[in-house]
């Protein structure tokens, strides 16, 4: 999926020590509380968004540990909450349809009759995408980066 991210790095600390450093910890990102809990062999970092009234796109993060000799590989994977994924996916579908329509008109139009429509559809689609992606970088992906940095700081 376009909104999922996976980061891998190697730590010299054991799996049990890494889990001990993270389980039960809280971190704040943009005044939003995230809690680390253990589920099976992995850790989940989930937001506490019950009291928040604003509309935000928030990530759920899974942290897995894989022992490799004396070192541990840490895999941090992030995906969007299912409840939050509808809006961004709808915007992406809309942008794709607009750009595809502009490209289809470009291929079909041999005489240049529809240049105004091509430029308008393509320009609006790309402008919407640029605004959308900028907002995602300052919101959702910033949460992802800061949670990843929190995990890395705690496990190094």
The count of structural domains within the chain is: 1
| Residues 6-49: tens digit of each pLDDT | 999 998 888 888 888 889 888 888 888 899 999 888 899 988 87
Provide the CATH number for the domain around residue 45: 3.30.530
Asked if the model's pLDDT at residue 51 lies above 70, the reply is no
Q: Which domain holds residue 42?
A: 1-156
User: What is the pLDDT confidence band of residue 62, given thresholds at 50, 70 and 90?
Assistant: very high
| Residues 103-125: tens digit of each pLDDT | 999 999 888 888 999 999 999 99
| Residues 117-155: tens digit of each pLDDT | 999 999 999 999 999 999 999 999 999 999 999 999 988
CB proximity list for 155: less than 8 A, separation 6 or greater? 11, 13, 18, 21, 22, 74
Q: What percent of the chain has pLDDT over 90?
A: 51
């Amino acid at each position: 999926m376009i909104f999922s991210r996976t980061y891998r790095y190697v730590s010299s600390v054991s799996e049990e020590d890494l889990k001990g450093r993270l389980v039960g910890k809280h971190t704040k990102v943009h005044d939003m509380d995230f809690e680390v809990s253990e589920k099976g062999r992995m850790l989940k970092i989930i937001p506490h968004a019950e009291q928040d009234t604003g509309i935000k796109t928030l990530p759920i993060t899974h942290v897995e540990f894989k022992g490799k000799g004396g070192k541990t590989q840490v895999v941090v994977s992030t995906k969007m909450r299912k409840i939050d994924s509808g809006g961004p996916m709808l915007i992406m579908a809309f942008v794709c349809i607009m750009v595809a329509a502009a490209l289809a008109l470009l291929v079909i139009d041999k005489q240049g009759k529809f240049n105004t429509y091509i430029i308008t559809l393509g320009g609006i689609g790309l402008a919407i995408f640029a605004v959308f992606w900028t907002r995602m970088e300052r919101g959702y992906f910033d949460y992802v980066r800061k949670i990843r940095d929190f995990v890395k700081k705690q496990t190094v």
